[in-house]
Amino acid sequence: GAGVSQSPRYKVAKRGQDVALRCDPISGHVSLFWYQQALGQGPEFLTYFQNEAQLDKSGLPSDRFFAERPEGSVSTLKIQRTQQEDSAVYLCASSTRSDLRHQETQYFGPGTRLLVL
Amino acid sequence: AQSVSQHNHHVILSEAASLELGCNYSYGGTVNLFWYVQYPGQHLQLLLKYFSGDPLVKGIKGFEAEFIKSKFSFNLRKPSVQWSDTAEYFCAVNAGTGGFKTIFGAGTRLFVKA
C-alpha cells in the first residue's frame, strides 16, 4: 500500500500567520509521531499518538504548537502565530505497534518544508 | 536527558573503501538503537536496529552495526562502499523500557566518489 504522505510539501508563511500541516499515516498504523528537523540537524521529537490519544507532547516547543489525531488516522500539526525560528522540515512517521517494549520500525513521510518570512 | 553524538558531519570515500560511522549515546538504562538513512530526494528509512540479543546487527545493503554497551556506542560499518551509498545517515536511540521519544543524532553526510 501507499506510504506515509504529508501535505503540503512546501509552505511559505508570513510571520504571525497560522499554518496547518497534514499527515496521512500508513493505513492501520497505531502509532504516529511528529518531528521537527532544522537545517543541518537530525529530527527532533515533537509528539506521539497512539490511535487518537496523544500520549507524549513533551517535545512541542511552545504552546503555539498543537497536534491532533481525532479519529486515530490522519493527524494535523498546527502552528499558531508562526515565528522565523519555526522554519524547518516537519516530519511525520507511523508504526504498527503500540507495545512500548517492542518499538516497531517507524515509516517516515517526505516532510513539509516550512519557511516563515 | 538522552542525547546522541555522531562524530563526523561529512565523510568522503572512494568506492570500495571501508566505512565506519561513529555513534555514541548517553542514557543509563536499556536502549533501543537505530540507524536511519536518507538517500538524495528520498524519505528517511530504517537501515538496521538493535533491541536485544546479539550485539552485532546486520541490516540492508550490507551494512552492520555493533552495540558496545560499555562504550555507549553503536557504530555503523560497511566493508566496501558503493557510489549508491551516498546519503545522510542518522543514529537514533530510545529508552527500551517504554519511551516514546526517539532521539536522533545530527547526521553524517557520506559522499562516495565513483
Could you report the per-residue pLDDT of B61-89, keeping only the tens digit for each? Answer: 999 999 999 999 999 999 999 999 999 99
Per-residue pLDDT at A99: 56
Looking at the DSSP bridge assignments, the partners of residue A53 are: A50
Q: For B7-28, what is the mean pLDDT? A: 94
The pLDDT score that the predictor gives to residue B7 is 87
| Residues of B engaging A, defined by a Cβ cutoff of 8 Å | 4, 32, 36, 43-46, 49, 51, 90, 92, 94, 96-107
pLDDT score for B96: 64
> Is A94 in CB contact (< 8 Å) with chain B?
no
pLDDT at residue B56 tops 70: yes
Give pLDDT, residue B99: 62
Q: Residues B40-49: what's their mean pLDDT?
A: 92
Residue-level pLDDT at B98:
58
pLDDT at position B2 is 78
Residue of A nearest to B35 (CA): A105
Do the strands B102-104 and B87-95 form a parallel or antiparallel pair, or are they unpaired?
antiparallel
pLDDT for B20:
97
pLDDT for position A7: 97
Write down the pLDDT at residue B12.
Answer: 97
In chain B, pLDDT over 70 holds for what percent of residues? 96
Is the pLDDT assigned to residue B28 strictly greater than 80? no
Residues of B with Cβ-Cβ distance to A41 under 8 angstroms: 106-107
Cα-Cα-Cα-Cα torsion A5, B40, B76, B24, nearest 10 degrees, comes to -70
pLDDT for the residue A98: 60
pLDDT at residue B30 in the model: 83
d(CA A68, CA A70): 6
d(CA B62, CA A93): 25
Q: What is the pLDDT along chain A (117 residues), one digit of tens a residue?
A: 589 999 999 999 999 999 999 999 999 999 999 999 999 899 999 999 999 999 999 999 999 999 999 999 999 999 999 999 999 999 999 988 765 555 678 899 999 999 999
- As a whole number, the mean pLDDT across chain B is 92
Contacts of A26 in chain B (CB under 8 A): none
User: Which DSSP string do the residues of B7-57 spell out, in sequence order?
Assistant: S-SEEEEETT--EEE-EEEE-SS-EEEEEEEE-TTS-EEEEEEE-SS-SEE
- Which of A35, A42, A107 has its CB closest to that of B107? A42
